[in-house]
Amino acid sequence: MALIEPVIAKPDLASIALLLVVVFLSLKILDMLRRTLVSWVLFFFRLAIYFTVAVAGVYVWNRGIDGTVDDIQHWSGRWHQEWQYWEDQAVAARAYDGQMGWAGNPLARQAWRRFGWNG
């Protein structure tokens, strides 16, 4: 403690330079850590992309082009059916809210109050 007391009492140019060196080195270390983290994240992202492409290639190889096209058409049709079902549910809910007003939907009233909207 005796060595640091003069520096604390009257900071001179040497102590300010030392502070700048410490800040510079710490920023360099943090930059190295950031670059390392970014490189690992990019590595795993590329690995996931290559794995996905390889799995898709094996799937097409095993199923064949026609089977793959049939599967894609089947699942896109199924997804469209689900999408349409939930669209219809949303339309029905909006129509129900319009008929009943706020009295018929206490949860909506709570949500409006929670977010500070008038209702």
At residue 99 the predicted structure's pLDDT band, cuts being 50, 70 and 90, is: low
pTM of the model: 0.53
Residue 16 in domain: yes
| Cβ–Cβ < 8 Å for 93, 101 | no
Note whether 6 and 38 are same-domain residues.
yes
At residue 60 the predicted structure's pLDDT band, cuts being 50, 70 and 90, is: very high
Helix-helix angle 65-100:13-63, to 10 degrees: 110
Note whether 94 and 51 are same-domain residues.
no
Note whether 6 and 53 are same-domain residues.
yes
- Domain of residue 2 covers 1-65
Residue 73 in domain: no
Mean pLDDT value across the chain: 84
Residue that is last in its domain, among 65, 93, 109: 65
Q: How many domains does the chain have?
A: 2
In angstroms, the CA 57 to CA 74 distance is 19
At residue 119 the predicted structure's pLDDT band, cuts being 50, 70 and 90, is: very low
At residue 57 the predicted structure's pLDDT band, cuts being 50, 70 and 90, is: very high
Is residue 103 over pLDDT 60?
Answer: no
Residue 71 in domain: no
Q: Residue 55: name the closest of 68, 69, 39 by CA.
A: 68
Note whether 50 and 13 are same-domain residues.
yes
pLDDT in tens, 8-54: 666 677 778 888 899 999 999 999 999 999 999 999 999 999 999 99
